[in-house]
């Protein structure tokens, strides 16, 4: 069994990854500074003798960890509300955090995975997006702290691989949803569900024809674990997401139906640099990882809605 370190362990994705790794019999060290992660997400893990938690900010080097086989670097605010709250800190987390975790991996000989993002493609001029597409990012826009921070982190990973022969894995994560999302994170799924459950108007930005592809969290975690298990010849980047595309209007209508809400749909102006389309080409994930998502949107939304109901 492996000893695994997860940064961003108290976040939405990180906590599910910790669950899955512990269920696989591994020892897990969770690292988080609770900037956006929540203690509630890992409270159930604290009594597990195979789980250790370290409260730490990845922009500071992490010492005292001497034996780890695998590092999953997930630490970074991931929703516009959170990453735009302190954009300088967001960039530092992506860039300096990557340097510190890569340094740790180099020092102890660990394999390391970077949770990158579909945001590296910006507002894409190519559809769907393949890993070879270099993107269309505004480097000085309000979203750039996240987009460019993640792009720079990928650069660092590949330079460490070329220069230091570090064993790296890079995945580009597309819109993910599921239980443990922060109801106040401003993401479209959590926004729509909370508005529907409260009977409030559902806010769509723009005409609602912009599209996203939504991947349920269990599918996403499965893909990350498969990526980490690949041989040294596989570095990525590999797109991880659900290629089934839905417009914002379609998503809102589905959530209204599943919640039985009487909410009405209203429209607000589209935010700056908000992508019109986002859909992964997952050919590489299918070929290299033998992976494709299995949870349909309806099933995933039902589980997510139930989670938010229980929070209320």
Q: What is the DSSP string of the chain?
A: --EEEEETTTSHHHHHHHHHHHHTT-EEEEEE--SS--HHHHGGGTT-TTEEEEE--TTS---S----SEEEE--S--SHHHHTTSHHHHHHHHHHHHHHHHHHHHHHT-EEEEEEEGGGGBS-SSSSBPTT---B--TTSTTHHHHHHHHHHHHHHHHHHHHH---EEEEEE--EE-TT--TTS--HHHHHHHHHHHTPPEEEETTS--EEE-EEHHHHHHHHHHHHTS-TT----EEES---EEEHHHHHHHHHHHHT----EEEEPPPTT--S---B--HHIIIII-------HHHHHHHHHHHHHHH-
Q: Quick check: is 60 in a domain? A: yes
Closest CA to 11 of 95, 74, 91: 74
- Stretch 128-143: mean pLDDT: 94
Is 172 a residue whose pLDDT tops 70? yes
Range of the domain at 163: 3-177+215-243+277-294
CATH code of residue 32: 3.40.50.720
Q: Quick check: is 91 in a domain? A: yes
Please state the domain count of the chain.
Answer: 1
Catalytic center residues: 146
Write the pLDDT tens digit of every residue in 29-71: 999 999 999 999 999 999 999 999 999 999 999 999 989 999 9
Q: Count the residues in the chain.
A: 312
pLDDT of residue 80: 74
- Stretch 188-205: mean pLDDT: 94
Band (pLDDT 50/70/90 cuts) for residue 269 is: confident
Q: Quick check: is 254 in a domain? A: no
CA distances to 7, 90, 135, 280 from 59, rounded to whole Å, are: 11, 10, 27, 30
pLDDT of residue 77: 83
Looking at every residue in the chain, the average pLDDT score rounds to 94
Q: Quick check: is 152 in a domain? A: yes
Band (pLDDT 50/70/90 cuts) for residue 273 is: low
Is 161 a residue whose pLDDT tops 90? yes
CA distances to 189, 215, 303, 312 from 256, rounded to whole Å, are: 12, 19, 15, 17
Rounded Cα distance between 281 and 250, Å, is 21
Tokens of 5: 């370190």
Is 274 a residue whose pLDDT tops 80? no
pLDDT of residue 78: 78
């Amino acid at each position: 069994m492996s000893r695994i370190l997860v940064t961003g362990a108290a976040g939405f994705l990180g906590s599910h990854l910790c669950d899955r790794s512990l269920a696989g019999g591994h020892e897990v060290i969770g690292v988080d500074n609770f900037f956006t992660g929540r203690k509630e997400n890992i409270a159930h893990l604290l009594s597990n003798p195979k789980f250790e938690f370290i409260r730490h900010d990845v922009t500071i080097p992490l010492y005292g960890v001497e034996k780890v086989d695998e590092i999953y670097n997930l630490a970074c605010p991931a929703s516009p509300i959170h990453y735009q709250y302190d954009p300088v800190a967001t960039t530092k987390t992506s860039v300096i955090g990557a340097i510190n975790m890569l340094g740790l991996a180099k020092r102890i000989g660990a394999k390391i995975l970077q949770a990158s993002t579909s945001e590296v493609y910006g507002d894409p001029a190519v559809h769907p997006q393949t890993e070879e597409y270099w993107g269309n990012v505004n480097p000085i826009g309000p979203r750039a702290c996240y987009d460019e921070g993640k792009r720079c982190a990928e650069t660092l990973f590949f330079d460490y691989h070329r220069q230091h022969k570090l064993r790296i894995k890079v995945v580009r994560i597309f819109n993910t949803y599921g239980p443990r999302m922060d109801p106040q994170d401003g993401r479209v799924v959590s926004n729509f569900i909370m508005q529907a459950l409260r009977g409030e108007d559902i806010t769509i930005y723009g005409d609602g024809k912009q599209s996203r592809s939504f991947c349920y969290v269990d599918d996403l975690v499965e893909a990350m674990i498969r990526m980490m298990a690949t041989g040294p010849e596989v570095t990525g980047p590999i797109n991880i997401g659900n290629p089934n595309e839905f417009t914002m209007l379609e998503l809102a209508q589905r959530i209204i139906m599943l919640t039985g809400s009487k909410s009405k749909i209203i429209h607000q102006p589209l935010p700056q640099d908000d992508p019109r389309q986002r859909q992964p080409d997952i050919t590489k994930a299918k070929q290299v990882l033998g992976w494709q998502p299995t949870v349909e949107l309806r099933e995933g939304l039902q589980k997510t809605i139930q989670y938010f109901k229980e929070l209320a």
